[in-house]
Amino acid sequence: MIMKKRMKWTGAFIFICMLVLIARLADIQLINTESFGGENVNLIEESVGQRTQEVMIDDGRGRFVDRNLLPVGNFQEPKLVLFPFLKNIEWPKEKLAQITGYSAFALKNMLEDADKPLIMGSAEGITLTESQMDTINDLEIPGVFAIYQQAKKKDEAANHIIGITGESPDVLRERYPDKKELSSKTQVGFTGLEKAFDEFLLPDAETKLLYHVDGDGNPLFGINVKYIANANPFYPVSVKTTIDSRIQKMADAIVTRYGIKKGGLVLLDAETSEVLAMVSKPALERSDSGSHINHMLTPQIPGSVFKTVIAAAAIESGLKLKNSYNCQLDMYGEHDDDSDMGILNFERSFARSCNYTFTTTADELIKKDKKTIEEFAGKLGLTEKNGWSGNVFHYNQFRQFPEEKSPSIWDDPRDKGAFRAVAQTAIGQKNVRVTPLAAANMMATIARGGEKKQVKIADSILYKNGTTMFAFPDQDMEGDGISPYTASKLQHLLRLVVTDKDGTGRRFQSLPFEVSGKSGTAETGHDTVHKWFAGYFPSNNPKYALAVVELDTQSETSSANSIFYDVAAELSRLENASTR
């Protein structure tokens, strides 16, 4: 009796185990074949991967070009591909050696240890011309190919702009739950334009060389290598940026030369507010998450650059300005032993950046209207994000700069009733935070006579065949701007910063371009300062608006001024060279 019970229980246990095993097999082979386990492993892909060797020529992801349609962030690198089965057959190694300059003996030795395709380019000492590539492919040697392989530029000057991609099945499924056809190895954008345009850049098909092997790595279907190409005439797309590659490389080289550890620059087309170049330091390193921050899109303490807002408010509100201000006094009206400015009028106060003039002016303005400072900051585009946003297909608010952060003027409205808080705000301290992008765009706005425009960094999305999928229109920023009269007065003040014999921008007098702008030194409260210079040039016919900032520096001298100077000088040289 006991034996029968044991047999029943044993049989039931075995039956349950069989059911569990069958369920597990069904889960693996039928149900979750494309998303197995906690890591969503694609079992079909892994199975195919075990019996194939492949060389990815192009993963099919879209790419970026500059305003002249030159590649940005990626390039086509010539590569020589040798498949491992070559070590088991006779093939004309000597002919290949004659073309490449790589010895036949070296090629043979490399193949002996190869268990996957060898991909050889400049890093391996093989630099192929287009003619050499054609000659290699004309030999029609099985397992030998000369290809152009899509690659990322490691030292690309625009890396912060373009951004980082990587594999993340979780992010992929979260962003695109309906795109079941996408491989778990599909690259997604994590920063920069790669993130902004990610859905447009997703691959339609890959281009690769494919070779089937058995369990020992031997040819499964002979020695034929299959070429799988993307035949779609529309994809992958290209995002045509507004960047000028020549200018971008030049700007990055100048910022690097001055050893800026943190900071950078934004250079805009003054007529359109299109980004010509943008540099952020520290340089982008995939392994260093701190370097992923684009400081040009992050609000910073602007210092005296913000006095431009106070000047605009005083001019447009009709405030009666004094004939003289005692610039021997500090920002709070107390005697300052370190100041030797003396008595200045409003114009020279702006040129020499006298704090007392602007703190007392701000105090008068705010007593008349507590909203004056933020109102005119808004009229100059400093109270909202400046990057292009709008409707693009099913996106209601597509942003070209998804990492751009919002600026701020006041943290506590009660500060408007405290003179010392108003004084600090007037000179761009306290809670004032402005992105370098917005500072450059403010200068472009003034240069245009007060017309506010959103900043563009992408001109259009182009199909593979060159036709336009979508063109990003120029768009005005929301809200009122300053009047043309106020803009004209600000242009005069910004020019005085350079032409006044004691102006903070007087060193720019020796440039080929006439420069207008405003300097700024912002105290951070951590024994460091932010050094700024923002302006536009040529003053009489503005083409460029430029903001440069060195963040968290302890240096007495301003690298920001030096970088501004060198960029303007180099742009003049480039313009002269192009007209010859």
Specify whether the CB–CB gap between 460 and 240 falls below 8 A.
yes
**Which two three-digit tokens encode residue 572?**
């003049």
Measuring CA to CA, which residue among 450, 447, 449, 443 is closest to residue 479?
450
CA distance 446 to 411: 27
Q: How many other C-beta atoms can be found within 10 angstroms of the C-beta atom of residue 449?
A: 17
* Pairing relationship of beta strands 389-392 and 395-399 according to DSSP bridges: antiparallel
In sequence order, which ranges of 337-483 are alpha helices (DSSP H)?
346-352, 355-368, 372-379, 419-426, 436-447
Measuring CA to CA, which residue among 72, 48, 4 is closest to residue 459?
72
Distances (CA, A) of 471 to 79, 322, 458, 474: 35, 50, 9, 10
In sequence order, which ranges of 369-401 are alpha helices (DSSP H)?
372-379
Give every CB contact of residue 353 below 8 A, 6+ residues apart in sequence.
304, 307, 504, 518, 519
Q: Which amino acid is at 291?
A: S
CA distance 245 to 265: 15
CA distance 197 to 361: 45
Specify whether the CB–CB gap between 514 and 362 falls below 8 A.
no
CA distance 576 to 445: 26
Specify whether the CB–CB gap between 516 and 570 falls below 8 A.
no
Phi, psi of 274 (to 5 degrees): -90, 140
Give every CB contact of residue 509 below 8 A, 6+ residues apart in sequence.
498, 499
Q: Is 304 a catalytic residue?
A: yes
Three-class HEC string of 145-187:
EEEEEEEECCCCCCHHHHCCEEECHHHHHHHCCCCCCCCCCCE
Q: Catalytic residue, from 304, 349, 353, 519: name it.
A: 304
Q: Which amino acid is at 254?
A: I
Distances (CA, A) of 414 to 288, 313, 558, 563: 40, 20, 35, 39
Q: What angle do CA 314, 533, 423 make, to 5 degrees?
A: 40
58: helix, strand or coil: strand
463: helix, strand or coil: coil
CA distance 570 to 347: 30
Phi, psi of 144 (to 5 degrees): -120, 125
The catalytic site residues sit at 304
